[in-house]
A and B are shown apart, each in its own frame.
Chain A
Amino acid sequence: MSGARNLSNALRRARVPRPRILVRHALVQSSATTAIRTFSVSSTARADKTIKYTSDAYPNVKRNPNFGEVTADDVAFFKELLGSQSAVVDGVTTDATDDIEPFNSDWMRKYRGHTRLVLKPQSTEEVSKVLKYCNERKLAVVPQGGNTGLVGGSVPVFDEIVINTSRMNQIRSFDEASGVLVADAGVILEVADQYLAERNHLFPLDLGAKGSCHIGGNVATNAGGLRLLRYGSLHGTVLGLEAVLPDGTIVDSLSTLRKNNTGYDLKQLFIGAEGTIGLITKVAIICPPRPKAVNVAYFGLESFEQVQQAYREAKGQLSEILSAFELMDGRSQRLVHDSTGNKYPLEGEYPFYCLIETSGSNAEHDMEKLESFLEHVLGEGIVADGVLAQDETQFQAIWRWREGITEALSHLGGTYKYDVSIPLPELYQLVEDCKQRLTEKGFVGDDDSFPVRAVVGYGHMGDSNLHLNVAVRQYNKEVEKAIEPWVYEWIQKRQGSISAEHGLGIAKREFIGYSQNDTMVKLMKQLKALYDPNGIMNPYKYI
């Protein structure tokens, strides 16, 4: 029976143009091997365009002359230390250009470094020894997980050594009663979630790149993702960490306790530090039980006013079962439609779309709440039209209209991405203003003579988090100048954040002043100097 079922599954999948799983695997780069594969695929597709070196794109960033240069002796030391051949990708004493390229550049093809050495330690002790050596020799390093970041934080700028966590990929323990998972930094998010699924639990973080991002990287960048609304940020769910400081000190704060008021909560420093004061090697995180009933609805709305109204109603009526409230504008959905060829879920086209997900423990209760909510928003005319997923296939298909935006954009050329947090009433105004500004400057148009293809907005409405994306036919300094720093000034005026969940990396580094005052930046610099006096950890980025 199950054989026939699989066959019918396979047949049915053939009907659906892009199953979620395949999209994930094509989009993302998981372990080193897939990274290479993905890279070579995309490079043949766009072989004519090589990625510009970050050092050329940011000519005012100069290599720190205090840093040492990697020598053959250093490589020999690391080979000796890490033992196995696959732990060192050596571009110093051998020609390893092709092998090293995936570690040097990011998946958006926006940033590219000059590293000639990649290390893949397998244990905390190895990381400690590597960092201690680098600190003594003043060799700069870049911690790297799945390399799915959006601000160039995980790739080198100059010749920093890449320390990749992909070989630290063991799940250490899971306690069914408390729901606490302890795992290595290099465990892939989706792998961790599948492990938890078998034990009826859920990783409290979910994001589009889950098939390749590492949980260590997620914590280091304090990733937000799709379910933050429900499960909160990593600052709350991460109970303990193990990290290595640049001098080799192992910081063992791997507590699995929910409550622990003994001294400064130092682990919080590493969450969102983007590897600038230490390298996270293990994570203890509290995981909620996997919801038994999940429903998803997709709406079309006529105005942003109504989107806000729908959100208010959803919070009021769905309160404890609401697990996601996502906003997508009409243009973003058109891009997904153009790139996937999938049929729109709704008949007509609308300027705004929302995706609502509920997660609960009792399907009937949830359905009752959801239906009365749907009846209300439809009856009151808040929502113009909508669909409710009737089965798992439709559930996944609807999520693809939200999760597929990033991928759709990447098929169409470059994207200037701004991940911002703005008070809710003005959330979408930024997209309107940006579009108007670029249109007035004559950048936006339908044919190849215009650099900008579209200005789109989407994001996590529930977290007041908007992704402003400017899809360009190729990266263009003129366009960039028209957007920056205008967009940051716009956000500053409204006391927003210039980087809600993507972090600073190299892309947002010089703009931190728009969201943090001088005192805050000074305190951050003091911390950095205290734990990383030689400044070897992920230099040229963050602050």
Chain B
Amino acid sequence: MASGLRILVPIKRVIDYAIKPRINKAQTGVETAGVKHSLNPFDELSIEEAVRLRERKGPLKVENILALSAGGPKTPDVLRTAMAMGADRAFHIDVPDSADGGPEPLTIAKLLKGVVEKENINLVLLGKQAIDGDQGQTGQMLAGLLGWPQATQASKVEVKDEAGTVEITHEVDGGVETLRAKLPLVITTDLRLNEPRYASLPNIMKAKKKPLEKKTLADFGVEDTRRLKTLKVTEPPARTGGGKVEDVDGLVSKLKELGAL
């Protein structure tokens, strides 16, 4: 059925994974103002994989890679990064910034369903989870809504033939499992899938000229309804650190003090 791959890569702008998040004063979420943000690491993998599918020149040609992200005014930053890595075009779905990780997975899944239908997508490659909300549900909900097969937490993706047979390997307890499915398909990505490339300067320049369309949830007939209410966000209790003793005598007296000797 498939003449080529039309790939949708949904991505998210999150607090940089190397930065320690802090809880805001109101205890409603994490502090996002003035904190370095970047592309969700799992989404980086899915863009890389989409680009590699094109470069691998397998039995099915990649026609188009569409990157999509829902978020506030800075969202285009990560979309440009995605396009610098190799996505062809991007949709920015305008959703106000919020401290609680944005719209719920079901809302996003419904949005993606709309995009898939409108843009005639036949492969959705998405990160298995975003590191802010850590929900890990969007891919599965999307497959359910579309009635498509899904392969989660892929560590290897291989297009086998022109008919659109895809083999996906993922890691399970004690080994690996290989799945086979036919397009259209939803795949979520895991860490061992690939090593994302750096965005090269020439590609960053080119990415500026690639089309980036701004859209709203309403364009796809979706409303940002919340089923969950965040009551409170708190830090886990601080771990009491170990002490340092000067020498053996110090150690012995400390142990005695604690009643261990």
**Which residues of chain A have a CB within 8 Å of any CB of chain B?**
1-5, 8-9, 11-12, 14-15, 84-86, 292, 297-299, 343, 345-347, 363, 371, 374-375, 378, 383, 385-394, 396, 398
Contacts and interface: CB of A to CB of B under 8 A. Distances in A.
B192 interface: yes
Interface in B97-148: 129, 131-134
B41 A12 contact: yes
A87 to B, nearest CB: 9
Interface string B57-90: 0000000000000000000000001001000000
Contacts of B191: 11-12, 14-15
B192 A297 contact: no
Contact of B201 (A2, A5, A84, A297): A297
Contacts of A86: 246-247
A9 B195 CA distance: 15
Given A2-B236, A84-B246, A86-B247, A390 B41 contact: no
Given A387-B201, A391-B38, 16 more contacts: A1-B132, A2-B235, A5-B131, A8-B17, A8-B42, A9-B18, A85-B249, A346-B200, A374-B204, A383-B201, A387-B200, A390-B39, A390-B198, A391-B17, A392-B17, A394-B198
A3 B236 contact: yes
B238 to A, nearest CB: 12
Contacts of A383: 201
11 contacts: A2-B236, A4-B131, A5-B131, A8-B17, A12-B17, A346-B200, A387-B198, A387-B199, A390-B81, A391-B17, A396-B18
Contacts of A392: 16-19, 36, 38
Contacts of A375: 205
A196 B34 CA distance: 18
B248 interface: yes
Contacts of A363: 36
B160 to A, nearest CB: 26
Contacts of B42: 8
Nearest to B200: A387
The 5 residue pairs across chains A and B that have the minimum distance between CB atoms: A391-B38, A392-B18, A387-B198, A86-B247, A386-B201
B200 A347 contact: yes
Contact of A8 (B21, B39, B41, B247): B41
B146 to A, nearest CB: 27
A440 B38 CA distance: 51
Given A5-B134, A14-B191, A388 B18 contact: no
A374 B133 CA distance: 35
Q: Is the interface of B mostly helix, strand, loop or mixed?
A: loop
Contacts of B199: 387-388, 390
Contacts of B259: none
A393 B134 contact: no
A33 B198 CA distance: 39
Interface of B: 16-19, 21, 30, 34, 36, 38-39, 41-42, 81, 84, 129, 131-134, 191-192, 195, 198-202, 204-205, 233, 235-236, 246-249
B249 to A, nearest CB: 7
Contacts of A385: 200-202
Given A15-B192, A387-B199, A2 B21 contact: yes
Contacts of B205: 374-375, 378
B247 A85 contact: yes
Nearest to A374: B201
A484 to B, nearest CB: 40
Contacts of B235: 2
Contacts of B133: 1
B187 to A, nearest CB: 18
Contacts of B236: 2-3
Contacts of A292: 34
Contacts of A398: 198
A52 B18 CA distance: 43
Nearest to B81: A390
Nearest to B19: A392
A292 B37 CA distance: 12
Contacts of B17: 5, 8-9, 12, 391-393
A386 B200 contact: yes
A12 B36 CA distance: 18
B29 to A, nearest CB: 9
A12 B195 CA distance: 10
A383 B42 CA distance: 31
A343 B204 contact: no
Nearest to A9: B17
Contacts of B247: 84-86
Contacts of B30: 1
B18 A393 contact: yes
Nearest to B194: A15
Contacts of B19: 392
B249 A391 contact: no
Nearest to A14: B191
Nearest to B192: A15
Contacts of A298: 198
Nearest to B15: A5
Contacts of B84: 390
A387 B249 CA distance: 55
Contacts of A345: 198
Nearest to A7: B134
B34 A388 contact: no
A3 B233 CA distance: 13
Contacts of A1: 30, 132-134, 233
B16 A391 contact: yes
Nearest to A83: B246
Contacts of B195: 15, 343
Nearest to B101: A1
Nearest to B78: A390
A347 B205 CA distance: 17
Contacts of A396: 18
Nearest to A4: B134
A374 B195 CA distance: 25
A15 B247 CA distance: 39
A289 B47 CA distance: 36
A391 B201 contact: no
B198 A391 contact: no
A8 B131 contact: yes
B247 to A, nearest CB: 4
Contacts of A378: 201-202, 205
Nearest to A394: B198
Nearest to B245: A86
Contacts of A3: 236
B231 to A, nearest CB: 14
A260 to B, nearest CB: 36
Contacts of B21: 2, 5
